[in-house]
Amino acid sequence: MRQKDAHSHTGQPIQVGPYTIYVAGAMHLDPDILSEFDVLIPLTEQLPPLGIGNFFLVLSAQLPDFGGVPDDWVEFLCGRVIPLLARCHQTGERVLCFCTAGHGRTGTLLASLIAILETEEETPDPIAAVRERHCHHAVETMAQAEGIFSLRGREVPSQYLNLR
């Protein structure tokens, strides 16, 4: 596997609970990078060029750009994403999650998984955790922050009230 720049959003590994999920911005992906992964979770309506002969399992999770999460977000995460991560953890398959730039929607998915898979004592602030582990631009809107903290039954902390 080629060496990746941690700020290029071309598939760096992020730990969420016991699982590793790779994250990217579709604008940085090409078929050579994609060929390193087995499962794709696109958070956009369009896929990047996949290349000829590449084979992927795709779990579609289209989120609106600069929007929030759907009403069935927790069911999607707990019923689809987490079981997929568990299976891939056992089989050694690699999961790549991406949106256009790798910030808002990708950060929302990661912070949501952190909110579910890690205790509040371990990780009191899922947004701060994803910004530390992935990118300081992760999670861009108040609607995204509300979706994340609602997974823990909490209001959005005051430091995020200035999000779009």
- Residue range 10-160 forms a domain whose CATH class is alpha beta
User: Is 7 exposed, middle or buried, given 0-12, 13-18 or 19+ CB atoms closer than 10 A?
Assistant: exposed
pLDDT band (50, 70, 90) for residue 4:
very low
The token duo for 10 is: 């071309």
pLDDT digits (tens, 9 = 90+) for 35-56: 999 999 999 988 888 888 888 9
- Domain ranges in the chain are 10-160
Its pTM stands at 0.91
Distance CA(104)–CA(109), nearest Å, equals 9
pLDDT at 96: 96
Distance CA(148)–CA(63), nearest Å, equals 14
Return the higher-pLDDT residue of 48 and 121.
121
CA distances from 97 to 77, 119, 141 (A): 13, 22, 19
